[in-house]
Amino acid sequence: MAVKFDLENGVAIITIDRPEARNAIDGATALAVSELIQRANSDRDIRVAILTGSGGHFCAGMDLKAFLRGELMRLPDVGFAGVTQARISKPLIAAVEGYALAGGFEMALACDLVIAAENAQFGLTEVKRGLVANAGGLVRLPRQLPAKIASELVLTGDIVPASLLAHHGLINRVVPSGEALNAALGCARKIAANGPLAVAVSKQVLSESQDWLSTEMFERQYQLTAPVFKSADAREGASAFAEKRTPIWRGE
């Protein structure tokens, strides 16, 4: 199995496990990652998911040998490895060590948060192979970085350190090498301790509101968030605060 799955206390860890190929994605791996992403999306016991890689690397992108064999790495409706175009209702955190290149970088761009080790290196290297970064790089990077920086990365295919991207706000936290997963787990546990309905709706508004007009954004936000204030979880959160105890969430 080219992908590992672990679940503990509401946090799922999806680990791409092809260290001999720097976790490059072939057809079988794409299907396996996609299935686990959908499992994280639908399982009520999962509050947060972490995407990472084994052997000191995140993901070197598409396996070019598999590409030449005609294998399918971009899946219908959900994109590269089932991540880049998937509609994921749970928070998804990328824990990055080593290389996050091409499709691997685009998978990280699709995540809500990115925790990277000091040794992490990122690049949209597709142009160096006569390809284009159309698994999200061309459309997401200019939304997450200053336009000129995004253009340089896309057009040169250069590989850059985590520190540069952190400087421009694309990475949440840079940690010592070997500590990306532990740091991501710490962040995931904080999120998992919060009201699941509130987290899901907050993520939805954060994502969808980027395309809303300023004249309609508060009304559209209200339509999504008003049910949260009427939920059982909202009453439980207030009661737990008043009674100085840990809330017991029901997700409804």
Active site residues: 106, 126
Instruction: Find where tokens 């999120």 sit.
Output: 191
CA atoms within 13 A on the CB side of 14: 28
Give the DSSP letter of residue 72. -
Instruction: Taking the CA atoms of 234, 229, 189 and 82 in sequence, report the sign of the dihedral they define.
Output: positive
CA 129/CA 109 separation, integer angstroms: 21
State how beta strands 173-175 and 113-117 pair: parallel
3-class DSSP state of 84: coil
8 Å CB contact between 160 and 122:
yes
What ranges in the chain are assigned the alpha helix state H? 27-42, 64-68, 103-109, 137-144, 147-156, 162-167, 180-192, 196-208, 217-229, 232-242
- Amino acid letter at 1? M
